[in-house]
Amino acid sequence: MNLLRCTFLFITVLVLAVSCDKEKPELTPHIISVQQETSPGEICAVKGYNFGENPGAVTVLFGNTPAEVVDTYDFVIHVYTPFLADGAQADVSVSVAGRSSNKISFTTGEAEIAISSLLEPGGKTIGGFGYDLEINGRGFHPEAAMNLVTFGGVETPVKQASRTSLTVVIPAPASFRQTETEISVKNKATGLTASRTFTYNPDACDSMRVVTAPWIREQLRDGVEYRKASFPLFTSDSIQEIHIVEAVLSAANRIGIGFPATALSFTETSVQAAAAGALVGINAGYFTMDGGELAEYPFVRINGEEKQEGAPGNSKTFRSAVLTFGSNGYEQVQIRQPGTSNQNANAKALTDPNVLVAGPLLVLDNALNTDLPGPPSTSHNVTSSPRSAFGKLDDGTPYGRIVMVAVDGRGTGTGMNCFQLQRFMRYLGAHSAMCLDGGGSTTMYIKGKGVVNVPSDGSERPVQTTLFLF
């Protein structure tokens, strides 16, 4: 009997509970207050009750303008204050699952926009064009297309947008001499603008100009590329004419030194390269055109045989770098510094089978040589002239990669000074680089093409030493 009573009571309670649940009224949201005078884009608190905790079920209207819901709790909803196109006042209402609240009058604060900081990738200040730039601040529009960003009046597309951050691509400066420009951000909805000064880094800009230059490329053979281009560089509207041969060192791509059969004699680079059967030839060490024993002559060793002692004394300009490599022409290729005095003697003390002295040293261990100017020829370093250079890159290949460079000048192209040349070699990725003889001697020969640059003498100058790529 007791069991029947208990069962009856349990069933009765269950039926009543279900019945009560069915009859439970749906709760209507009610607004008590709205945080007044919040500016468009700032978070506004709508306080009340029966809001629930499902943001997807909640709609908040400022007049007829919906506000983006940040979060919702049963007693408060946080929204981004919308821009009120029809004025500064509106009635705020809340709808939860189709159930509408009362309305509360709201007055918006004054719209604001400001730029607080400019950040480039990784938080670094690069200052070059073509990189992403993060513009941080407030008052931006969350839709990318509703923000207008200009650099010195030049519009750049907005890639990503939020109310506090915009990401754009830095455009190229309007001129090569420009180092500063004004960034302007306009929120198209509010019509407000903010601005801030942006500083370009000339070195970063020049590096990007080299990367994006209109290079004409030709594969000479596997692992060897020839490229040339004409483009402005180094804060100048003048044109640089540049020729580059880049090669992956291997048994199939070897370098060598050319030297005349008779000391202190001279032969054109193309003639020496063709006679040696080289794929590429470029002029190499310095010399004196009258044949005298002056400071320019380098120490030369080829396959273990000393070809030239080199001039005694000290020459930062002509003998501050030495190229050394193994007997097979592709192993242990290095550019080194043979000391600050008696460089030919220091180079002679090296045990490498192949040694050629030239200079100035441009780059060593990924660092620019800061000791370029100096006797006997400071003007050699600071004057824009045709230039020849050699660089070494370590790129993960077994023996690395080399670049041979010829820069035209004195009529065809502007030419470079040594400070510009060392920067250019770094742009190419050279971790070490050296200047070779330049001026009228600058010549690059390619088998099947002949001389590809324009020697500044009007014709090819006979030289003493050459560098080959076999």
In this structure, the answer to whether residues 180 and 145 fall within a common structural domain is yes
**pLDDT tens-digit map of 134-178:** 999 999 999 999 999 999 999 999 999 999 999 999 999 888 778
Range of the structural domain that residue 84 is part of: 30-107
pLDDT tens digits, residue range 31-86?
A: 999 999 999 889 999 999 999 999 999 999 999 999 999 999 999 999 999 988 77
Does some domain include residue 172?
yes
Domain termination site, one of 168, 200, 232 = 200
Give residue 296's Cα distance to chain centre.
38
Q: Among 107, 124, 150, which residue terminates a domain?
A: 107
Residue 206 falls within a domain, yes or no?
no
CATH number at residue 157: 2.60.40.10
Whether 447 and 412 map to the same domain: the answer is yes
DSSP type of residue 386: -
**184 and 219 housed in the same domain:** no
Residue 20 located in a structural domain: no
Q: Is 184 part of any domain?
A: yes
In which residue are the tokens 């093409």 written? 449
Higher pLDDT, 220 or 342: 220
Domain tally for the chain?
3
Instruction: Note whether 138 and 101 are same-domain residues.
Output: no
Q: Are residues 194 and 325 in the same domain?
A: no
Domain-embedded: residue 4 = no
Q: Determine the 3-state secondary structure of 289 from DSSP.
A: coil
Would you say residue 350 lies in a domain?
yes
Domain boundary among 107, 132, 151: 107
**What pLDDT does residue 357 have?**
96
Is 141 within a domain?
yes
Residue 83 near residue 66 (C-beta atoms within 8 A):
no
Is 447 domain-assigned? Answer: yes
Q: What is the DSSP string of 420-456?
A: HHHHHHHHTT-SEEEE---GGG--EEETTTEE-S--T
Q: Are 173 and 205 in contact (CB under 8 A)?
A: yes
Shared-domain flag, residues 147 and 67: no
Per DSSP bridges, beta strands 354-358 and 334-336 are unpaired
- Same domain assignment for residues 287 and 332: yes
Instruction: Examine the domain organization and report whether 221 and 346 are in the same domain.
Output: yes
If asked whether residues 43 and 149 sit together in one domain, one would say no
CA–CA gap between residue 445 and residue 464 (Å, rounded): 15
User: Tokens 């030919």 identify what position?
Assistant: 344
Q: Give the span between the Cα atoms of 20 and 17, in whole angstroms.
A: 5
- H-type helices in 299-377, by residue range? 343-348
Which pLDDT tens digit goes with each residue over 229-280?
A: 999 998 777 799 999 999 999 999 999 999 988 777 899 999 999 999 999 9
Q: What is the pLDDT of residues 366-421, one digit of tens each?
A: 999 988 866 555 788 889 999 999 999 988 899 999 999 999 999 889 999 999 99
On whether both 41 and 61 belong to a single domain, the answer is: yes
The burial class, CB within 10 Å (0-12 / 13-18 / 19+), for 285 is buried
The confidence band for 106, taking pLDDT boundaries of 50, 70 and 90, is very high
Q: Are residues 356 and 438 in the same domain?
A: yes
Which amino acid, one-letter code, is at 362?
Answer: L
**Tally of residues, the chain:** 470
Res. 21 pLDDT band, cuts 50 70 90: very low
* Residue 355 CB burial class (10 angstroms; 0-12, 13-18, ≥19): buried
> Six-digit token pair at 94?
């809340």
Sequential DSSP letters for 90-118 = EEEEEEETTEEEEEEEEE------EEEEE
State the DSSP string of 172-237: PPSSTT--EEEEEEEETTT--EEEEEEE--HHHHHHHHHHTS--EEEEEETTEEEEEEEEE-SS-S
Return the axis-axis angle of helices 202-211 and 418-427, rounded to nearest 10°: 60
Average pLDDT over residues 200-220: 94
- 292 and 436: one domain? yes
pLDDT of 10 > 80? The answer is no
Helix (H) or strand (E) holding 183: strand 180-187
Cα–Cα distance list, 150 to 169, 173, 184, 224, 335 (Å): 11, 12, 5, 42, 45
3-state secondary structure of 395: coil
